[in-house]
Chains A and B, each alone.
With several copies, the nearest count.
Chain A
Amino acid sequence: MSDSDNYEAVVQSASSEVASFEEHKKGLIGHFHHALHATPSLVPLIVLVASIIVFGIAVGSNFFSAYALTLILQQVQIVGVLAAAQSLVVLTAGIDLSVGAIAVFTSVIMGQFTFRYGIPAPISVVCGLAIGTGIGAISGWLVSRVKLPPFIVTLGMWQIVLAANYLYSANETIRSQDIATEASFLQFLGRTFELGGAKLNLGVVLMLILVVVLAYCLRSTAWGRHVYAVGDDPEAAKLAGVKVNQTLMSVYMLVGFICALAGWVMIGRFGSISPSATTGTFGNIQSITAVVIGGISLFGGRGSILGAFFGALIVGVFELGLRMAGADAQWTYLLIGALIIGAVTVDQWIRKVTA
């Protein structure tokens, strides 16, 4: 222990290479392994493809028809858009129970503004989008400024918006025929076009664009990184200089806007505008289910929006597949419950072996 005073000087001659080790697994499996490790949203994609194949075999050729396959996209479009919105909230460690209610309410607003007040349809749509954003802003304010738990805020909003929806619309459905003749712009997202023999509508296109754009924003912009940081550890994010309140506010407003888009998509899909659409009641659970199946953590900060999209498709495939296979309603529910658990088990298993 003689030269103890000076031992720190030795470090001047320390090696300064970055540590590296030979690669362990090589070849195709190694690559695949690594791809899964780097991009966890591939896991739900694998589950999705697998379930399409399984149902294709079980149901028979009907399932692989262009009609059936595009039908999945059609049936999933509303939940898909809502799941995109839900993903954003869940990434910030929140939860939004009001997504479905906002969608229904804004669709009613778009319709009633046009038919009750005679406002031109495009302007009504803009009003609907603005009101959706406004509702999101109220939730965002309560969450970020008043610091209420998102569950409570959006639960309250859910009830308020749903009741307002019934009160405002006087429970009246606007009929598809009337919209088509008088304000067909409201049904704009329902327009279909052919693509290689398959029929798609603009609502599906909107959903796809939305998912891609949000995935880009979350991954490649500062805002997206802040969303993750806020969800990961809000305290740390604040100390590190993220404007937590502003980020939360922007997320909830964006979610309100996307839900209003979903409202517009609903008009396109159903033709008519009905205040009693079940999306108002079940949209939240459906979107949260998609998000969780897609591998986004309900504790925030982990997961990708693409995963949520695949999650929505997985549920869509299960539902259509079981229906086409002729299971009756209660058996369908029972099997969907079991399949969801199964899908996530497979998902967990893939993650484990590639960890």
Chain B
Amino acid sequence: MEPILKARGLVKRYGKVTAINRSDFDLMPGEILAVIGDNGAGKSSIVKALCGAVIPDEGEIWLEGKKVSFSSPIDARNVGIETVYQTLAMSPALSIADNMFMGRELRKPGFMGKWLRKLDRPAMEKFARQKLSELGLTTIQSINQAVESLSGGQRQGVAVARAAAFGSKVIILDEPTAALGVKESRKVLELIQDVRSRGIPIILISHNMPHVFEVADRIHIHRLGRRLAVIDPREHSMSDAVAYMTGAQVPEGIAA
């Protein structure tokens, strides 16, 4: 089967620091691919390269067999790649609804919307509230709160809800549950499985091994800026995975 998203030989350097070191990447259609690795291994860097947020110094990327080179995240979004960044990418002073619909606002029907381009605020707020409740974020008291005044977890929830609501071809989640509580993390896992069941492949970066082993179809292990191995969670234990990614053990028989 042809990977839906494929990369070969990606390199990214910042001055003397190497973030991606000739790494490869493959995402198969319809799968949940987990990416694991130490802090600073380069996980965020490589997925940012895949979604246009970082322009790699070297290397090539293919989407559905066609070579692509995104010059900005908007390019990637236009072809249906939706991303939750580790830094969340929110406008702190704007409201929850504004942030969720940033770049794809709803307009009022009829004259007001068509000619005066008036936003349909009630509709956007209702939608936002509903998505957040689905994620179990029932502690948000005012949907008009500025994002900067939200708690860490609430903010992350807004970002996840945004990506889940709009992704169409690939969804990339960079540590989507890091700041979330037990209940909220659970809901995100359910959401991920729900999205997969609609046939949309997902890249999930996470440090939570039980969660990774619960939902992933394949696990990409990243170490020192490159792909070390791809393992099948049914064939390897969590201990194996942790041993590989921390360098305690070198995987055998598996091509990087």
Contact = CB atoms under 8 A, between A and B. Distances in A.
Q: Does a CB–CB distance below 8 Å link A and B in the complex?
A: yes
B91 A24 contact: no
B243 A13 contact: yes
Contact of A225 (B21, B40, B94, B187): B94
A74 B213 CA distance: 71
B225 interface: yes
A10 B242 contact: yes
Interface stretch (A14-22, A191-199, A335-343): A14-22
Contacts of B243: 10, 13
A241 B210 contact: no
Nearest to B189: A8
Interface in B216-256: 224-225, 233, 237-239, 241-243, 246-249
Interface stretch (A114-122, A182-190, A232-240, A311-319): A232-240
A11 B102 contact: no
A239 B73 CA distance: 6
B244 to A, nearest CB: 10
A221 interface: yes
Interface string A44-65: 0000000000000000000000
Interface string B99-127: 10011110100000000111101000000
A13 B91 contact: no
B239 A7 contact: yes
Contacts of B225: 19, 21
B96 interface: no
A50 to B, nearest CB: 23
Contact of A15 (B119, B241, B248): B248
Nearest to A24: B13
A14 B90 contact: no
Nearest to B224: A19
**Interface size class of chain B, counting residues whose CB lies under 8 Å from the partner chain:** 35 or more
A191 B207 CA distance: 68
B246 A15 contact: yes
A301 interface: yes
A3 B240 CA distance: 10
Given A4-B209, A236-B89, A239-B85, A19 B239 contact: no
A37 B15 contact: yes
B193 interface: no
Interface in A194-226: 216, 220-223, 225-226
B91 A228 contact: yes
**Interface size class of chain A, counting residues whose CB lies under 8 Å from the partner chain:** 35 or more
Interface stretch (B62-70, B137-145, B196-204): B137-145
B81 to A, nearest CB: 11
Contact of B239 (A3, A18, A220, A233): A3
B102 A242 contact: yes
Contacts of B138: 15-19
B186 interface: yes
A14 B136 contact: yes
B182 A7 contact: yes
A333 B14 CA distance: 39
A5 to B, nearest CB: 9
Contacts of A238: 72-74
Contacts of B91: 228-229, 232-233, 236-237, 240, 301
A222 B107 contact: yes
Contact of B77 (A8, A223, A241): A241
A223 B237 CA distance: 51
Given A20-B141, A239-B89, A3 B238 contact: yes
A225 B90 contact: no
Contact of B141 (A4, A14, A19, A225): A19
B165 interface: no
Contacts of B92: 232-233, 236, 301
A10 B247 CA distance: 10
Interface string B162-182: 000000000000000000001
A220 to B, nearest CB: 5
Contacts of B185: 8
Given A7-B237, A14-B136, A232-B92, A225 B98 contact: yes
- Quick one: which of B83, B93, B105, B209 has the most chain A CB within 10 A? B93
Contacts of B239: 3, 6-7, 9-10
B40 A11 contact: no
A274 B92 CA distance: 45
Contacts of B186: 8, 11
Contacts of A240: 89-91, 99, 102-103
Nearest to A7: B238
A17 B129 CA distance: 12
A34 B89 contact: no
5 contacts: A4-B213, A7-B241, A21-B21, A228-B94, A229-B102
Given A7-B239, A235-B89, A240-B102, 14 more contacts: A2-B237, A4-B210, A7-B242, A10-B242, A13-B248, A14-B136, A14-B247, A18-B138, A18-B139, A18-B140, A19-B140, A19-B224, A37-B16, A243-B103
List 4 A-B pairs, minimum CB-CB distance, nearest first.
Answer: A241-B103, A15-B247, A14-B246, A239-B89
